[in-house]
């Protein structure tokens, strides 16, 4: 907690460290309340640092210091000092030296889950971004790379498993077997944020992997004893990830062992510590009855992501935290490519874009907007954002779109070759692509420094006499906090022009314009491109595969959209046309509702949707995506101001009900057709069938006849896997009546002993779109299985509630008040979690005035509370600015 007003750190102030640390020896004696850490550092002045070096300041927080020894001599209290942020040694030698430091810390008191803490009796660490300083005094910055040797000592019974980074070197017993130790050495120099340690009573499954050059790697996944059988999928994912990185990027693993540990209390999803990844256990454990298809997919994706960091993050790390997208954006892009190789690429792209639009677009349009590479921060933990991650991934994807896959790979190879073992910058990364292609990326760099989602306003004019089509493209770049004027961007616009028969016309431009592989390069604020030899008025299909993270506008008629829905050769845009049509109808319905007017007639849309849904030539996964209407949050984003969440909910629900009423028989047929007869397996074909069937189930339940509710109840009670069980529960959660209550009770009875599965029970109650949900959530907040100290529980109850537009935005403000109180409560022990929850308020200014005032009141209440963590202070002040 901060006493003074926290200060921002700026990218422009970056300076290399005054000192370097070449080697670290840690000797850690684990104890629940008094863990002793002896650290021996081989240090030297940094030749790269010019000018005056001053005192040596090591970062450190919540530590008890016992001893400081410099070159073998214990320092007296006069030659060093400590405060809340670190240890200062007034005049260190101007040559290499050895510094030994002995400290203590208290893992069981650590509820911030940063540094060394206990999760259900298991010692574990989380050091990114700045947790290592809570374990020992150190130069806790990513550009200080050292080789670590770690000795861990602990009680033999309480902690039979002792793990750290790198390769195992030695183990032995002490104190007649009561205690024991293990020594680990990581030969790869790494920054402190990649350090990890685990100690505890854990079960494991093991396997091996042979790398492409024939090296054998021992793989282990450690979990709560008794849960080993639920690790098979995770192990499979790990091996596929290792193979994929070899085949797709030529990247081989580089240690003798790779360990994964699953823990229950974890602030994030997972962490890429070198050779010892630590995971939130919900992203490891899976079985047919305890994990949904979505869970299986997430496990695969996150294991791949953390594994891929071994090269993009660990071997090449970030010079400073402003460069976070260098590892996160790139690794998300890599995990997206991996996922796309495991299912239909268009389905994966739809998933990526849905996420981007649901999370990043609102961030970029609100008070928390920041560039992919921020230029300042108060608390770095607040910048693990959708912008850094997902927009960061889009920037990598645009580089690939501009260069083509082959040259992109060449650029990646050069990046690995040139910067292996270094702490790099975004400039270093982009320079590799400039060098392999001979192209200039100067304008492209603006994407990294300029916040906000560009608008791309397009217009197509056809001239029948000249047989030309003129496409005008204008960039609309609205101001964002701290950036009032904007520069035009370089935008790859992938497109097609559909002829009368629905086929793509050959694209020939006139003039100097380049068009390669259907990609037009936009560089100016406003530009017109002429396409020649166009026989009849074409229907434009713009931004195919979502080739750039922009907001596209083009005036298309309903007929054009229907034409694209059924003919576009780009599967992504075929889906997008359906979403655009739905959005158009829903936005008009919301307007009509608020003026007491009749909503537009959706029958042509419904008919077209019915065609797509029952088109057996189309992949079921795509059909399921088409049947999923834009979410209420998507609609709010498009409407953008004076938002009434109730009207949006009502409009969307009405359309869902009409859909089910008009397409009833067809949907019922799909429901029957898509039943999976084989035993459960998380394979693409089954997943797609379940996805389509379950989205149909949701629609049919929205129709609300007794038979519909009975179908959902039967679906729930007869389910043989969690995917179907949850689909039934979710469908029932929006009904009124005894079936819903019975299903939630049944689910609780069945799963209350499983801390992962039961989270669905909390979540689906918190997600019920009704003002009365607040009372339910308040009650659940006092449930014995609920704990604010566990981030999963907080996200699953409070987070889900704050993401429930109707309930959170109750017109009396009680939803805001409730969430604000929880934020303050959590901030006392876990600032990262509190700050993340607070981002639920980020779109408050777009609300209609009554709600806006109430949200503002809740935010101001937070802002004036004391004490506030730096994390919450930063988010609340930016949100109110």
Q: Which residues bind Zn ion (CB under 5 A)?
A: 328, 331
The site partner of 271 among Zn ion, ligand BES, none (C-beta below 5 to 8 Å per kind) is ligand BES
The site partner of 301 among Zn ion, ligand BES, none (C-beta below 5 to 8 Å per kind) is ligand BES
At closest approach, how far in Å is the CB of 138 from ligand BES? Answer: 17
Minimum CB distance to ligand BES smaller for 317 or for 490:
317
Which helix (H) or strand (E) covers residue 436, if one does? helix 426-437
The site partner of 332 among Zn ion, ligand BES, none (C-beta below 5 to 8 Å per kind) is ligand BES
Among residues 255, 257, 342, 357, the alpha carbon closest in space to that of 304 is found at 342
**Is the dihedral angle over the CA atoms 740, 743, 749, 754 positive or is it negative?**
negative
The site partner of 739 among ligand BES, Zn ion, none (C-beta below 5 to 8 Å per kind) is none
Minimum CB distance to Zn ion smaller for 336 or for 765:
336
User: How does strand 122-126 pair with strand 197-200?
Assistant: antiparallel
Residue-level length of the chain: 881
The site partner of 268 among Zn ion, ligand BES, none (C-beta below 5 to 8 Å per kind) is ligand BES
Cβ contacts of 63-66, under 8 Å, gap ≥ 24:
63/103, 63/104, 63/105, 63/134, 63/136, 63/137, 64/103, 64/104, 64/105, 65/101, 65/102, 65/103, 65/137, 66/102, 66/103, 66/104
| 400 touches 408 (CB < 8 A) | yes
At closest approach, how far in Å is the CB of 283 from Zn ion? Answer: 12
| 137 touches 65 (CB < 8 A) | yes
Residue nearest to ligand BES (CB): 269
- The residues with which 171 forms a beta bridge, in sequence order, are 182
- Determine if residue 446 is left, alpha or beta; phi over 0 gives left, psi from -120 to 50 gives alpha, anything else beta: alpha
Name every residue whose Cβ is closer than 8 Å to that of residue 292 and which is 6 or more positions away in sequence: 722, 723, 726, 760
- Determine if residue 547 is left, alpha or beta; phi over 0 gives left, psi from -120 to 50 gives alpha, anything else beta: alpha
**Cα(426)–Cα(318) distance, rounded to whole angstroms?**
9
At closest approach, how far in Å is the CB of 394 from ligand BES? Answer: 14
Residues that bind ligand BES (CB under 6 A): 128-129, 268-272, 301-302, 305-306, 309, 328, 332, 335, 384, 389
**Cα(548)–Cα(398) distance, rounded to whole angstroms?**
7
> Looking at residue 316, what DSSP letter applies?
B
The site partner of 128 among Zn ion, ligand BES, none (C-beta below 5 to 8 Å per kind) is ligand BES
At closest approach, how far in Å is the CB of 497 from Zn ion? Answer: 39
Q: Tokens 């509702």 correspond to what residue?
A: 593
Among residues 592, 598, 667, the alpha carbon closest in space to that of 627 is found at 667
At closest approach, how far in Å is the CB of 305 from Zn ion? Answer: 6
Minimum CB distance to ligand BES smaller for 99 or for 378:
378
Dihedrals phi, psi of 232, to nearest 5 degrees: -60, -45
Structure tokens at 144: 């200080």
Minimum CB distance to ligand BES smaller for 277 or for 694:
277
Integer angstrom CA distances of residue 161 from 197, 202, 275: 10, 7, 16
**Cα(102)–Cα(91) distance, rounded to whole angstroms?**
20
At closest approach, how far in Å is the CB of 670 from ligand BES? Answer: 32
Minimum CB distance to Zn ion smaller for 59 or for 328:
328
The site partner of 302 among ligand BES, Zn ion, none (C-beta below 5 to 8 Å per kind) is ligand BES
The site partner of 842 among ligand BES, Zn ion, none (C-beta below 5 to 8 Å per kind) is none
- Annotate 24-38 with three-state secondary structure: EEEEEECCCCCEEEE
Structure tokens at 622: 């795509």
Residue 680: CB atoms within 10 Å: 18
The site partner of 192 among ligand BES, Zn ion, none (C-beta below 5 to 8 Å per kind) is none
The site partner of 2 among ligand BES, Zn ion, none (C-beta below 5 to 8 Å per kind) is none
Count the helix, strand and coil residues of the chain and give each as a percent rounded to the nearest 5.
45, 20, 35
3-class DSSP assignment, residue 591: helix
Minimum CB distance to ligand BES smaller for 18 or for 392:
392
Minimum CB distance to ligand BES smaller for 20 or for 255:
255
Helix axes 558-567, 571-594, angle to 10 degrees: 150
At closest approach, how far in Å is the CB of 108 from ligand BES? Answer: 21
Residue 607: CB atoms within 10 Å: 12
Q: What one-character-per-residue DSSP string does 448-504 give?
A: HH--SPPEEEEEEEEETTTTEEEEEEEEE---BTTB-S-----EEEEEEEE-TTSPB
The site partner of 726 among Zn ion, ligand BES, none (C-beta below 5 to 8 Å per kind) is none
At closest approach, how far in Å is the CB of 834 from ligand BES? Answer: 15
Minimum CB distance to ligand BES smaller for 129 or for 593:
129
Minimum CB distance to ligand BES smaller for 18 or for 313:
313
Kindly report whether the peptide bond that precedes residue 129 is cis, defined as omega within 30 degrees of 0: yes
**Is the dihedral angle over the CA atoms 791, 793, 794, 796 positive or is it negative?**
positive
Structure tokens at 797: 């109850």
**Cα(467)–Cα(333) distance, rounded to whole angstroms?**
40
At closest approach, how far in Å is the CB of 193 from ligand BES? Answer: 8
- The stretches of 767-809 forming alpha helices (DSSP H) are 773-781, 791-794, 800-802, 805-808
Minimum CB distance to ligand BES smaller for 37 or for 270:
270
Residue 370: CB atoms within 10 Å: 23
The site partner of 295 among ligand BES, Zn ion, none (C-beta below 5 to 8 Å per kind) is none
Residues annotated catalytic, as ranges: 306
Name every residue whose Cβ is closer than 8 Å to that of residue 710 and which is 6 or more positions away in sequence: 739
In degrees, rounded to 5, the angle at the alpha carbon of residue 621 between the alpha carbons of residues 618 and 623 is 55
Minimum CB distance to ligand BES smaller for 390 or for 580:
390
At closest approach, how far in Å is the CB of 269 from Zn ion? Answer: 9
Kindly report whether the peptide bond that precedes residue 836 is cis, defined as omega within 30 degrees of 0: no
Residue 416: CB atoms within 10 Å: 16
Using alpha carbons only, how large is the chain's radius of gyration in Å?
28
Minimum CB distance to Zn ion smaller for 28 or for 237:
237
At closest approach, how far in Å is the CB of 332 from Zn ion? Answer: 7
Minimum CB distance to ligand BES smaller for 241 or for 625:
241
Structure tokens at 422: 């270094």
């Amino acid at each position: 907690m901060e006493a003074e007003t926290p200060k921002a750190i700026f990218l422009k102030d970056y300076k290399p460290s005054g000192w370097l640390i070449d080697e670290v020896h840690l000797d850690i004696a684990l104890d629940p309340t008094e863990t002793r850490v002896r650290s021996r550092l081989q240090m030297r002045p940094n030749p790269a640092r010019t000018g005056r070096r001053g005192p040596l300041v090591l970062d450190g927080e919540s530590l008890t210091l016992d001893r400081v020894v410099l070159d073998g001599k214990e320092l007296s209290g006069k030659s060093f000092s400590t405060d809340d942020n670190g240890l200062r040694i007034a005049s260190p030698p101007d040559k290499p030296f050895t510094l030994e430091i002995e400290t203590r810390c208290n893992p069981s008191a650590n509820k911030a889950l940063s540094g060394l803490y206990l999760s259900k009796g298991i010692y574990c660490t989380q050091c990114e971004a700045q947790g290592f300083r809570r374990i020992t005094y150190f130069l806790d910055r990513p550009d200080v790379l050292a080789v670590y040797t770690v000795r861990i000592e602990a009680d033999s019974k309480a902690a039979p498993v002792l793990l750290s980074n790198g390769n195992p070197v030695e183990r032995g017993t002490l104190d007649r077997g009561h205690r024991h130790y293990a020594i680990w050495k990581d030969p790869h120099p790494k920054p402190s944020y990649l350090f990890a340690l685990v100690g505890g009573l854990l079960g494991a499954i093991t396997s091996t992997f042979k790398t492409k050059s024939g090296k054998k790697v021992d793989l282990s996944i450690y979990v709560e004893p008794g849960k080993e059988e639920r690790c098979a999928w995770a192990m499979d994912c790990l091996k596929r990830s290792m193979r994929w990185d070899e085949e797709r990027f030529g990247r081989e693993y580089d240690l003798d062992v790779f360990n994964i540990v699953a823990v229950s209390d974890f602030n994030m999803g997972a962490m890429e510590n070198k050779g010892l990844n630590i995971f939130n256990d919900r992203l490891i454990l899976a079985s047919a009855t305890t994990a949904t298809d979505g869970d299986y997919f997430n496990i695969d994706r996150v294991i791949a992501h953390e594994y891929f960091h071994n090269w993009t993050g660990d071997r090449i790390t970030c010079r400073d935290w402003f460069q976070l997208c260098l590892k996160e954006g790139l690794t998300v892009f890599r995990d997206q490519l991996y996922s796309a190789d495991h299912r239909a690429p268009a389905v994966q792209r739809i998933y990526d874009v849905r996420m981007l639009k649901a999370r990043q677009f609102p961030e970029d349009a609100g008070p928390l907007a920041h560039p992919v590479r921020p230029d300042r921060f108060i608390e770095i933990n607040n910048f693990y954002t959708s912008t850094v991650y997902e927009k960061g991934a889009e920037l990598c994807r645009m580089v690939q779109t501009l260069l083509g896959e082959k040259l992109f790979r060449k650029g990646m190879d050069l990046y690995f070759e040139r910067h292996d073992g270094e702490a790099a910058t975004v400039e270093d990364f982009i320079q590799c692509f400039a060098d392999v292609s001979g192209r200039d990326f100067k304008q492209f760099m603006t994407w990294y420094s300029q916040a906000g989602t560009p608008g791309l306003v397009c217009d197509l004019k056809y001239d029948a006499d000249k047989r030309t089509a003129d496409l005008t493209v204008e960039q609309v770049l609205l101001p964002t906090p701290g950036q009032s004027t904007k520069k035009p961007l370089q935008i790859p616009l992938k497109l097609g022009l559909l002829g009368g028969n629905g086929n793509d016309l050959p694209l020939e431009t006139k003039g100097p314009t380049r068009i390669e592989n259907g990609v037009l390069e936009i560089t100016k604020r406003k530009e017109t491109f002429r396409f020649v030899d166009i026989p009849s008025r074409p229907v434009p299909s713009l931004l195919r595969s979502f080739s750039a993270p922009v907001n596209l506008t083009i005036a298309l008629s309903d007929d054009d959209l229907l034409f694209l829905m059924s003919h576009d050769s780009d599967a992504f845009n075929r889906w997008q046309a359906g979403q655009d049509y739905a959005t158009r109808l829903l936005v008009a319905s919301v307007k009509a509702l608020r003026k007491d007017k009749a909503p537009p007639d959706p029958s042509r849309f419904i008919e077209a949707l019915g065609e797509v849904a029952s088109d057996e030539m189309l992949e079921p996964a795509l059909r399921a995506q088409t049947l999923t209407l834009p979410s209420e949050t998507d609609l709010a984003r498009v409407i953008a101001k004076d938002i009434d969440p109730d009207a949006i909910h009502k409009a969307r629900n009405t359309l869902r009900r009409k859909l089910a009423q008009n397409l009833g028989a067809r949907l019922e047929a799909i429901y029957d057709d898509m039943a999976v007869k084989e035993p459960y397996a998380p394979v693409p074909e089954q997943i797609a069938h379940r996805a389509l069937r379950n989205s149909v189930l949701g629609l049919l339940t929205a129709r609300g006849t007794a038979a519909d509710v009975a179908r959902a109840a039967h679906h729930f009670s007869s389910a043989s896997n969690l995917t179907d069980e949850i689909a039934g529960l979710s469908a029932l959660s929006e009904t009124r009546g005894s079936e819903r209550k019975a299903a939630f009770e049944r689910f609780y009875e069945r799963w209350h002993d499983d801390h992962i599965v039961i989270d669905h029970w909390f979540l689906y109650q918190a997600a019920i779109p009704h003002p009365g949900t607040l009372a339910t959530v308040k009650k659940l907040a006092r449930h014995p299985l609920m704990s604010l100290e566990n981030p999963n529980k907080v996200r699953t109850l409070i987070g889900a509630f704050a993401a429930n537009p109707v309930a959170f935005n109750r017109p009396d403000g009680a939803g805001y008040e409730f969430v604000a109180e929880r934020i303050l409560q959590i901030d006392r022990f876990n600032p990262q979690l509190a700050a993340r929850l607070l981002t639920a308020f980020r779109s408050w200014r777009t609300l209609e005035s009554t709600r806006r005032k109430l949200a503002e009141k809740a935010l101001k209440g937070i802002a004036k509370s004391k004490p506030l963590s730096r994390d919450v202070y930063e988010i609340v002040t930016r949100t109110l600015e």
